Chain A
Amino acid sequence: MDWSAIGLSLRLSTLTTLLLLILGLPLASWLAFSRWRWKFFVEAVVTLPLVLPPTVLGFYLLIVMGPRSPIGQAYEAIAGRGLPFSFQGLLIASVIYSLPFAVQPFTAAISTVDRRLIEASWCLGRGWLGTFFRVTLPLSWPGVLTGMVLSFAHTLGEFGVVLMIGGDLAGVTRTISISIFDQVQALDYGAANQTALALLLFSFLVLAVTYGLQKRGVAVWPPR
């Protein structure tokens, strides 16, 4: 079994999920509450990774991160090396690729929070941020958890974008799905089966535990 690929995939998924939590929650709150007339434009952009083939997304990300783009050049000047075929580049791509899987459940959950509870919090002296952490987030956490699980699982299974951005560098960008692909290419079906089965069981376990926790969590907090 390719333990280094499994470790890399877990690291990538965890970091992607955390980044999506940090970036996705403000974005989702904005989407839930903003009355900006061009909001639909932002919604479309956020959802784009859901419908684009991973190769298309990967291709454009490669162009944007590449040494000919200003962004790629700026990163290289600061970090000393380019983004493509690095773990950092892979992380950025994963965050964008899984964006709708986090932001959509987040937004749906935050929109269902009764607006008057938020206004009540304001009238009781809590600012925007205090209200978010004391009222909005606790009341929308099942949806937030769903978004995190989906992001994690989606990143764990991604293939096309990884191949386009990261390539296949052992210990750097060779994720579990790339590793399986390699093993199949090498006609090593036994090893492929082992890794695939491990991924299948792990994914199932994560989902089962999370949904189990969530179900219990909903029952006690908030009480219904």
Chain B
Amino acid sequence: MAAALTLRFRKKFPNGALIDADLQIRLDPPLVTVLFGPSGAGKTTILRALAGLERSEECVIHFDGEIWADNQNGVFIPPQRRRIGFLFQDYALFSHLTVEDNIRYGLRGMAANEQRIRSSELLERFQLRDLARRYPDQLSGGQKQRVALARTLAPRPRLLLLDEPLSALDGPTREAVRGELRSLLGSLNIPVLLVTHDRVEALALGDGVAIVNEGRIIQHASIEEVFRRPLTPAVAKIVAVETVQRARVLHVDTELVTVAVGDSRLIAAAADFPSGAREAFVCIRAEDVLLFKNVEKVSTSARNRLPGIVKSLAHEGPMWRIELDCGFTLTALLTRQACEELALQPNDLVLAMIKATNVHLISRGSGL
């Protein structure tokens, strides 16, 4: 069996919440897996279970051939002996220790001069050399985060668990640190599990993503796969696919599926759409919708051309979010420039183009 991390964790909380999670992660090559989902879905609990901080009457964890937990056989390896790194949401730095002593905290097993070499390495790598004698209260948010990362990585953990690593930072710092974190995680060569409820963070940092909803993992695949091809409407909602509509299936052949949303027809790539399905959900990401005003100029291979009326325009970061009425509500995302070129106004008539491969279908029942 290839090196893998498997988790089976079930726990009922006194407030009625239930965590019932199954997770398998291949460890080779070491990738960044994002646990993504709304607040309160149980992401952090799953992370804590992996660390050994959360116990349950039903918990089985295997890591690369080792058993970390198996309550059927009464096995429980405490956090101290799992050799993992856990980064807490607000960093949990020891306020009575200097930056350097925080970093050296996990190096107790080493000889004194090795400790010095290792901590010096980390101070250098995280640009903390000048702050080594400071206390955590004298640091900025971004500096604290670097100290926490350095402390977590100092003992060379085999698995890195990050609980909302950027949520304690303010906007501009967060963006800068996100970029640094991405290159750091890529260079570590150890598997990483990262909890976030921020879509930008998930897309920027993850290789794979496990969608957590109401205590369960409802889809686990590559970032690309999950964000483009959600398995269920619930996943589509969590990854914020802008347009999700019910549709009737009109025709299925080997390559294409034709569906009707209200009076509009849409053509989707068949992928592995079940041929017996009568109904489906249509998922269209806003960035995959192209808008045109002058129909003559259009030269695109897009199979779907939907006339529509502009209902509203709104800023969304550097983009404009445009709601269209095409018989159903379709959302498009345009750059400011594209928006200016089209001189879009409410009630304008436009043509929306969508490639068949960008129309994702979720089948509803086999129709039998």
Beyond A125-B106, A134-B105, A139-B96, whether A119 also contacts B53 by CB under 8 A is yes
Interface residues of B in 37-61 (CB under 8 A from A): 51-53
Q: Is the CB of B92 within 8 A of A120?
A: yes
Q: Please, which residues of chain B bring their CB within 8 A of the CB of A117?
A: 92, 94
Minimum CB–CB distance for A44 against chain B, Å: 24
Question: Which label, helix, strand, loop or mixed, suits the secondary structure of the A interface?
Answer: helix
- Nearest residue (CB) in B for A123 is B86
Instruction: Pick the contact of B138: A121, A127, A138, A223 (CB < 8 A).
Output: A223
Determine if B292 is an interface residue (Cβ-Cβ < 8 Å). no
Report Cα–Cα, A38/B16, bound state, in Å: 23
Report Cα–Cα, A124/B105, bound state, in Å: 7
Instruction: Pick the contact of B80: A116, A126, A223 (CB < 8 A).
Output: A126
Report Cα–Cα, A224/B96, bound state, in Å: 9
Determine if A43 is an interface residue (Cβ-Cβ < 8 Å). no
- Produce 1/0 per residue, B6-41, CB < 8 A to A: 000000000000000000000000000000000000
Q: Is the CB of A124 within 8 A of B135?
A: no
- Produce 1/0 per residue, B310-329, CB < 8 A to A: 00000000000000000000
Q: Please, which residues of chain A bring their CB within 8 A of the CB of B85?
A: 123
Q: Please, which residues of chain B bring their CB within 8 A of the CB of A139?
A: 94-96
Instruction: Pick the contact of B79: A116, A119, A222 (CB < 8 A).
Output: A119
Q: Please, which residues of chain B bring their CB within 8 A of the CB of A114?
A: 92
Instruction: Pick the contact of B88: A116, A134, A135, A138 (CB < 8 A).
Output: A116
Q: Is the CB of A222 within 8 A of B96?
A: yes
Q: Is the CB of A120 within 8 A of B108?
A: no
Beyond A222-B135, A223-B137, whether A122 also contacts B53 by CB under 8 A is yes
Determine if B84 is an interface residue (Cβ-Cβ < 8 Å). yes
Report Cα–Cα, A126/B108, bound state, in Å: 8
Beyond A221-B96, A222-B95, whether A125 also contacts B80 by CB under 8 A is yes
Q: Is the CB of B155 within 8 A of A125?
A: yes
Count how many pairs of residues, one from A and one from B, have CB atoms less than 8 Å apart in the complex: 63
Give the number of residues in A that approach B within 8 Å (Cβ atoms).
21
- Nearest residue (CB) in B for A134 is B105
Q: Please, which residues of chain A bring their CB within 8 A of the CB of B152?
A: 123-124
Q: Is the CB of B92 within 8 A of A116?
A: yes
Minimum CB–CB distance for A137 against chain B, Å: 10
Determine if B65 is an interface residue (Cβ-Cβ < 8 Å). no
- Produce 1/0 per residue, B294-313, CB < 8 A to A: 00000000000000000000
Interface residues of A in 105-137 (CB under 8 A from B): 114, 116-117, 119-127, 130, 134-135
Report Cα–Cα, A126/B104, bound state, in Å: 12
Report Cα–Cα, A134/B107, bound state, in Å: 13
Report Cα–Cα, A204/B135, bound state, in Å: 35
Minimum CB–CB distance for B167 against chain A, Å: 14
Minimum CB–CB distance for B94 against chain A, Å: 6
Report Cα–Cα, A123/B83, bound state, in Å: 7
Q: List 8 A-B contacts (CB under 8 A).
A: A123-B51, A123-B84, A123-B85, A123-B86, A125-B106, A127-B80, A221-B96, A224-B137
Q: Give me the interface of A with B, judged by CB distance under 8 Å.
A: 114, 116-117, 119-127, 130, 134-135, 138-139, 221-224
Q: Give me the interface of B with A, judged by CB distance under 8 Å.
A: 51-53, 78-80, 83-86, 88, 90, 92, 94-96, 105-106, 108-109, 135, 137-138, 151-152, 155
Extra contacts, 15 of them, besides A120-B86, A224-B137 (Cβ < 8 A), are: A116-B88, A116-B90, A119-B92, A121-B105, A123-B84, A123-B152, A125-B80, A125-B83, A125-B109, A125-B155, A130-B108, A138-B96, A139-B94, A221-B96, A223-B135
